[in-house]
Amino acid sequence: MVIALWVLAALLAGALLTAVLAVRRQQGDLTRAQARIEQLEADLTTALRPRPAATATERAVARVVRGVSKVRERGLSGLLQSSIEDLQAWAASEEQEIRSMADSDGRVTLLFSDIEDSTPLNERLGDDTWVRVLAAHDSLVRARVDKYRGQVVKTSGDGFMVAFRDAEAACRAAVGIQRDLRRTLDPMLRVVAPVKVRIGIHTGTVISRDGDYFGRNVAMAARVGALATGGEVLVTNAVHESLDDDATVTLVEMGEVELKGLPGEHLVWRVLTQ
């Protein structure tokens, strides 16, 4: 009787082990399939995205088309106001050409990110470990930026400034970064406590010089990033308005806030990352 029970227990243990291994294989297959789907979606988004106007003639044609649309939507007074704004943007672009990341309207979507509480974390871990944490963080962020065709403008310690050609790509990259950080098994990103990153995104016209971006809209993106908490992605209303109706990101209105150095109040949205 005892031998029979031992045999039965061994059989059950073997069956359980086989089931566990099968579940793990299926989980691995599912993870790889999900990654493949995300890559295909990113490639499709890039392929369908219209090429920005490359010559003065193409830009002029694009402005005429936009002008006709604005007359229909806003009337002549709306066109006049937008033309004044366009003239200001053209003057800025004549001073310094916007690089290839700008769309046909001369707008760039900027993403700012940094590690929450990085200074005290550095103090706790020490410089040697902190350098390895930054290297792991750098690799994770750049992988998502590359996937959505972003361009790292510059880095500063634990912070990134990244340019995208459209708002949806920036938002999806940010969501991917937050998900990767939550799911990572990299010990350097889980030492003491999981590393948390705050992200802010804004869309607008900028001035480009020597590989860097300048202007009020750069400051806006940086301020929104500073407003976020670890694990959070905040965007401006300009980003919300730039998203297509079928965009695969979800935004929740957070209300109007004051941003340091920028007059007035500004509507901010939170991107759902779950």
pLDDT at 242 > cutoff 90: yes
Mean pLDDT of the chain: 78
Backbone angles phi, psi at 165, to 5 degrees: -80, -20
In this predicted structure, the answer to whether residue 189 has a pLDDT above a threshold of 70 is yes
Q: Which whole number is the average pLDDT over 185-214?
A: 86
Give residue 235's Cα distance to chain centre: 10
Q: How confident is the model at residue 21 (pLDDT cuts 50, 70, 90)?
A: confident
Query: What is the pLDDT averaged over residues 173-182?
Result: 96
pLDDT cut 90: percent of the chain above it: 46
Q: Out of 92-106, 117-131, 176-190, 197-211, pick the least confident.
A: 92-106
Please enumerate in sequence order all residues whose Cβ is within 8 A of that of 79, keeping only pairs 6 or more positions apart, or say none: 67, 70, 71
| CA-closest candidate to residue 111, choices 30, 49, 62, 166 | 166
- Pinpoint the alpha helices (H) of 96-189: 118-125, 127-147, 167-183
- The count of C-alpha atoms lying within 13 angstroms of the C-alpha of 24, restricted to the half-sphere facing its C-beta, is 6
pLDDT score of 218: 93
Quote the pLDDT of residue 40. 54
